[in-house]
Structure 1
Amino acid sequence: MFARTLVAMALTVAATSAAEAKDWEIYGKINVSAQQSDEGEGSFGELKSNASRIGVKGDYALEHDLTLIYQLEWEVDLSDEANEKNLKSRNQFIGLKGDFGTVLAGRHDTALKLAQGKIDQFNDYEGDVKSLWKGENRVSDTVIYQSPSILGFKFTAQQIMADEPDADSAQSYAIGYGDEELKESAWYAAVALDNRVNGYDATRLAVQTKLAGFKLGAMLQQQKNVATGDEKDGYLASLAYPLNNVELKTQYQVQEDDNGISVGADYKLGKNTKLYGWYSSFDFDTATDSNYVAIGLEHKF
């Protein structure tokens, strides 16, 4: 009874706030696929929730031409058991925005991770660049500065606090040019650097453009394990081509003697809904090769 009363009170407050304010919104994405996986010990079927999420974000005008911005986002695992922990924190921050740029504090993707823009055509699936590369980090205890656009260039500097006496702080930096959506500019390019982020130094160069309807993307990366000094180099090439309601895409990624290839297609069912299918295969030098095939549905709200 008490729980039902609390829920009713929360819904009343939410409805009242929604009526009084227009500076925030609830948003999210549901992405679920049926997947057949083979990781060396035989093929098996599974249901995957591919970074499905829900969040609230907003902004609020302040004095001195400042704007307060905030975001609270969680990943929701629709394939998990009901009694398991199926909520995971994603980007959650508060910040100030003005003519000087933007300052954020909280939990956030690193500048190097964001530098990839939309080049990774299989983000959140098995073919995600994190399958082979380090650097796809979302970190806590971080403060970020993002500059305003200057002649198309933007600069990001990120400090990641140590959080304990014997640990080292870390940094992530990036300089980007153009529009990662390729809507306002024909080119997107970025160079990014991680220093001691989760035990790795990394440098990433990313570029994407449109040519005769094709979206062509490429990335180069060098990473180093700070503790062991082990260095690895890699590259990635991606391609996407829209054909009526279908977008065809493929991607090839290499790191030293490891490589992976993915092919897929998205079919647009509506403005915010798509049906998709893809296949990914990985050839590892010192690990068991793996293959995946999936078909799924995504809806954004």
Structure 2
Amino acid sequence: MKILRPIIAVAALSALTNSAFAAQFTTDVYGKVNVTVQNSDGETELKSNSSRFGLKGSEKLKGGLEVFYKYEIQVDVADESTTENLKSRNQYIGLKGSFGEVILGRNDTVLKQSQGKFDLFSDLTADIKNVGWKGENRINDSITYKTPKVNGFQFGASYYIDEENDDSATSLSVTYGDSALKKGKYYAAVAMDNELNGYNVTRLTGGTKVGSVKLGAMFQTQESVDTGIEKDGFMVSAEYLMGAYNLKGQYQTLEDDSGFTVGADRKLGKNTKAFAFYTTFGSDDDASGSNKNYLGLGLEQKF
């Protein structure tokens, strides 16, 4: 009950604020429930895939400024209960204007954000982090700055304050275009983490749209700060929108480890979809045939 009190307080405050200052301040309740039934080599499980609940809002200020906030929590609707049911996600306050925007709090690094929408099975078993890709960081005690877009280009920086060790780390990115390919046909990004969570990472991302087909690619090189071990990997993905169906495929590697996934989404309503996927993971130099295979059926509802 204690962990729910901040949520209840924020929700109550949002309701009061809306009624008193509806013209100046906006706030929204949002979230999604994503659950799969999946089988891996004879074992079946019910899995909640980053289901979440959140509040976000903004207010116009004097001088062309705008303040905004987000308070998002991950909810496990399948396995966990009590305090283990809730986990912190992005939670911050920010200010934007002609200078760009500044965000203070817990947030995804700009390197993680730079991947756009090209990891087609993000939050599922086939997420790129499950092949060992580093850089998928959501960091506490962070300051994020993004410039305004100029001719489609934008610079971003995340600065992490390590209070315990009196140290810091950075994440930098330069992006071009629309990462969702909704407002343009091209997207490109280069991003780097410097000693963030024990790794130096460089990631290149590109995407384009040809008719109803979206194509994406990522290349990454990562180095462990402690051991100096370097690994390279790449990912390619494609999705094809065919009426109410979205057909998807993705292949990703990291050195000798690789994974391949195919899947399909079926839109059932504006905010509802059913989906299915098949994933196989393994090592290219493993002759024992110990690949892991996953077959899943899922349902997602957004609100």
> TM-score, normalising length from structure 2?
0.91
Structure 1: gaps (5+ residues): 1-6
| SS of equivalent to 1:23 | strand
What corresponds to 2:239 in structure 1? 240
CA distance in 2, matches of 1:11, 1:60: 16
What corresponds to 2:270 in structure 1? 271
Q: Pick from 287, 292, 297 the counterpart of residue 294 of structure 2.
A: 292
What corresponds to 2:3 in structure 1? none
Alpha-carbon displacement from aligned partner over 1:231-290 (angstroms, at most 9, x marks no partner): 000100000001110000000001111100000000000111100000110013579531
| SS of equivalent to 2:227 | coil
CA deviation after TM superposition for structure 1 residue 8, in Å: 10
What corresponds to 2:251 in structure 1? 252
**Change beyond 3 A, Cα 1:258–1:104:** same
CA deviation after TM superposition for structure 1 residue 11, in Å: 7.8
1:24 aligns with 2:22: no
CA distance in 1, matches of 2:32, 2:191: 28
CA deviation after TM superposition for structure 1 residue 158, in Å: 1.0
**Change beyond 3 A, Cα 1:52–1:12:** closer
Alpha-carbon displacement from aligned partner over 1:109-168 (angstroms, at most 9, x marks no partner): 011111100110100001001112111110001001011110000110111011213x53
Identity across aligned pairs (percent)?
49
**Change beyond 3 A, Cα 1:9–1:124:** closer
CA distance in 2, matches of 1:223, 1:12: 44
CA deviation after TM superposition for structure 1 residue 296, in Å: 0.7
What corresponds to 2:76 in structure 1? 77
> TM-score, normalising length from structure 1?
0.92
What are the within-5 Å matches in structure 2 for residues 180-195 of structure 1? 180-195=179-194
| SS of equivalent to 1:85 | helix
What corresponds to 1:68 in structure 2? 67
| SS of equivalent to 2:112 | helix
CA distance in 1, matches of 2:265, 2:93: 34
Structure 2: gaps (5+ residues): 1-6
CA distance in 1, matches of 2:8, 2:102: 36
CA deviation after TM superposition for structure 1 residue 13, in Å: 5.9
CA distance in 2, matches of 1:98, 1:8: 30
Instruction: For 1:140, give the aligned amino acid.
Output: N
What are the within-5 Å matches in structure 2 for residues 37-76 of structure 1? 37-38=40-41, 43-76=42-75
What corresponds to 1:35 in structure 2? 38
| SS of equivalent to 2:234 | strand
What corresponds to 2:146 in structure 1? 146
| SS of equivalent to 2:191 | strand
